[in-house]
Chain A
């Protein structure tokens, strides 16, 4: 029944809507659709979408892959992805941290990739300790699942240590704002020369690591030729390569496939809009922003778009954990539902700017040429939709 419904709905409304319909018709749809396939779940606070895209490209060298490519990362998005490519023997599902347990129970994943755990959307009751505990308990029920985990994030290590099958990747942890205390015992972590706790929790040796822009793992060294910018994407690629290897993709093949990606769900895309060349980036929490700020320095104009809808988190306090004080002076516009919040943050950081609710109106205030755009979750989706509609006209 789900299959019939899936065919009828294909190409119709949004991915999540299609998934919700399928789940209503058959509450066991996720489990039925996953049967007999190798499913990889990718979770963590930041980098899920990019890592899942990199991994889907790598697994694509073996055959068709089902993938929730648009970032619909709850059960409905997972169902829709599996239903759309029913005969793909492998699936890559990006999964929201708070939904990992439920989805893992339904699909019995071959591999779970856990990238990092920092704060995001605190209004959802998602303090880091609670999220980590729920993931740990969920993974314990799947002793056969291989967990690919970032050994550089102490919260990740506390979450998965002791599980029977773990591959450690040195994917780095740029922002440590939520990892000053040990998740296991509550004591303060030592950070030099590498992180460790008096209780014995410490950084495990890496099975996969980066040497410059090459990946060392599985007994070989493989150069990466990513077109996606940023140090953090090297870490995402490392995790993707380790997961792909577990499903039989040689590192060289994975690297070549991943080098084909220029943008990920429109992130990192470059778009022409009127007199402007827009470079689109997504950042939605302090950890994401810490990785994004260094990418902004070469652009002559800046547009920041901030919303605070349900999918963004309703509280914009997190803007104060982003060191905007370091932003170089240039023509800058802030926009979005919460334009005044980001505007006031910049005022206190002494960054001159103009505040305009509508980002496309704000854009008109910026000089022609290159503009780097940083938007959070729904702001990015809205802006992309509008740019896409206008480019079709």
Chain B
């Protein structure tokens, strides 16, 4: 896309999949462009709205079971959007990640088909995974990710899916391989709330660089580094001063 045009960020069903405050990801993406002098706008695609027109990037978040089921049906019924989602960049969090998969099994063993954009399937786990998470992202240069997970569904990656990250602390997808989230050339899927892009600005910039097709200059905001340090300590249950090696790795990443 050209440098002058406005980057359109589509926030999918914030009225339905808004329970875990993942709408903040859209705020972070838009602000990180605006503060670098690139026009951006957030398009709210609510359940009552008509087709939003093409967006450059979609964001979809987490919600309760009934909301997830509603969202899946709604997306399957909106053909234009469904087609757009096949080829557009997406950040999908929690229920949003599950909805993009092949199917989701509910507590009664019923399988609801998903959008089939990701080769993942989701079934209920033994217990809910709740707490701070620390992972190492497989994307080059992104480094450690922190977030807060809160989900019952456990996600299995099929042969055509790769994990976004490897779990260091927490549960993630809940599979024995210790994977967290899912990754394709266009989709970043994760269980991390926080919101994940507020906690991990490098991941936000990775998504944005994909959209605008060039590197972005560094952008420091007040409290951004302290948030990362604090959550790193929380996820590992260690006071910051004892986190020598991990923290050093984090800072190496940040300065690279």
Q: Please report A residues at the B interface, Cβ cutoff 8 Å.
A: 119, 122-123, 125, 127-129, 177-178, 180-181, 183, 186-188, 286, 314-315, 317-321, 338-341, 343-348, 353, 355
- From A129, A180, A318, A344, B16 is in contact (CB under 8 Å) with A180
A328 to chain B, nearest CB (A): 18
- From B16, B18, B148, B222, A343 is in contact (CB under 8 Å) with B222
Given the known interface contacts A123-B130, A314-B148, the answer about A355 and B24 at a Cβ–Cβ threshold of 8 Å is: no
Besides A317-B22, A317-B195, A321-B24, 17 other A-B contacts (C-beta < 8 A): A128-B64, A129-B65, A178-B19, A314-B132, A317-B20, A320-B24, A320-B195, A321-B18, A338-B230, A344-B224, A345-B24, A346-B223, A348-B28, A348-B31, A348-B198, A353-B222, A355-B223
The winner among B21, B28, B65 for most chain A CB atoms within 10 A is B21
- From B47, B64, B224, A347 is in contact (CB under 8 Å) with B224
The reply to whether B21 and A320 contact each other, CB–CB distance below 8 Å, is yes
Q: How long is the Cα–Cα vector from A345 to B224 in the complex, in angstroms?
A: 9
- From A127, A315, A317, B64 is in contact (CB under 8 Å) with A127
The reply to whether A321 and B223 contact each other, CB–CB distance below 8 Å, is no
Q: Answer yes or no: B102 CB below 8 A from chain A CBs.
A: no
Which of these binds chain A: B66-74, B176-184, B241-249?
B66-74
Q: Which residue of B lies closest to A349 (CB)?
A: B27
List 15 A-B pairs, Cβ < 8 Å: A119-B19, A122-B150, A125-B128, A127-B64, A178-B19, A180-B47, A186-B69, A315-B148, A317-B20, A321-B21, A321-B24, A340-B230, A344-B226, A355-B222, A355-B226
The reply to whether A317 and B67 contact each other, CB–CB distance below 8 Å, is no
The reply to whether A186 and B66 contact each other, CB–CB distance below 8 Å, is yes
A138 to chain B, nearest CB (A): 20
Count chain B residues whose beta carbon lies closer than 8 angstroms to a beta carbon of A. Answer: 37
Q: How long is the Cα–Cα vector from A129 to B66 in the complex, in angstroms?
A: 9
The reply to whether A345 and B19 contact each other, CB–CB distance below 8 Å, is no
Q: How long is the Cα–Cα vector from A314 to B133 in the complex, in angstroms?
A: 12
- From B19, B28, B195, B227, A122 is in contact (CB under 8 Å) with B19
The reply to whether A317 and B70 contact each other, CB–CB distance below 8 Å, is no
Q: Which residue of B lies closest to A315 (CB)?
A: B148
A331 to chain B, nearest CB (A): 15
A312 to chain B, nearest CB (A): 13
The reply to whether B221 and A348 contact each other, CB–CB distance below 8 Å, is yes
- A177: chain B residues at CB < 8 Å are 15, 18
Q: Which residue of B lies closest to A354 (CB)?
A: B222
The reply to whether A318 and B227 contact each other, CB–CB distance below 8 Å, is no
Q: Answer yes or no: B109 CB below 8 A from chain A CBs.
A: no
The reply to whether B66 and A341 contact each other, CB–CB distance below 8 Å, is no
Q: How long is the Cα–Cα vector from A355 to B230 in the complex, in angstroms?
A: 14
- B130: chain A residues at CB < 8 Å are 123, 125, 314
Q: Answer yes or no: B89 CB below 8 A from chain A CBs.
A: no
- B195: chain A residues at CB < 8 Å are 317, 320
Q: Which residue of B lies closest to A178 (CB)?
A: B19
- From B47, B67, B150, B198, A344 is in contact (CB under 8 Å) with B198
The reply to whether A317 and B193 contact each other, CB–CB distance below 8 Å, is yes
The reply to whether A321 and B193 contact each other, CB–CB distance below 8 Å, is no
The reply to whether A186 and B70 contact each other, CB–CB distance below 8 Å, is yes
Q: How long is the Cα–Cα vector from A319 to B21 in the complex, in angstroms?
A: 8
The reply to whether A188 and B31 contact each other, CB–CB distance below 8 Å, is no
The winner among B16, B31, B132, B150 for most chain A CB atoms within 10 A is B150
Residues in B206-248 with C-beta less than 8 Å from chain A: 221-224, 226-227, 230
A355 to chain B, nearest CB (A): 6
Q: Answer yes or no: B131 CB below 8 A from chain A CBs.
A: yes
Task: Type the 1/0 row for B145-170, where 1 means its CB is closer than 8 Å to any CB of A.
Answer: 00010100000000000000000000
Q: Answer yes or no: B113 CB below 8 A from chain A CBs.
A: no
- B224: chain A residues at CB < 8 Å are 344, 347
A9 to chain B, nearest CB (A): 34
Question: When A and B form their complex, which 7 residue pairs have the shortest distance between CB atoms, in order from nearest?
Answer: A320-B24, A343-B223, A340-B226, A317-B21, A344-B223, A180-B15, A315-B148
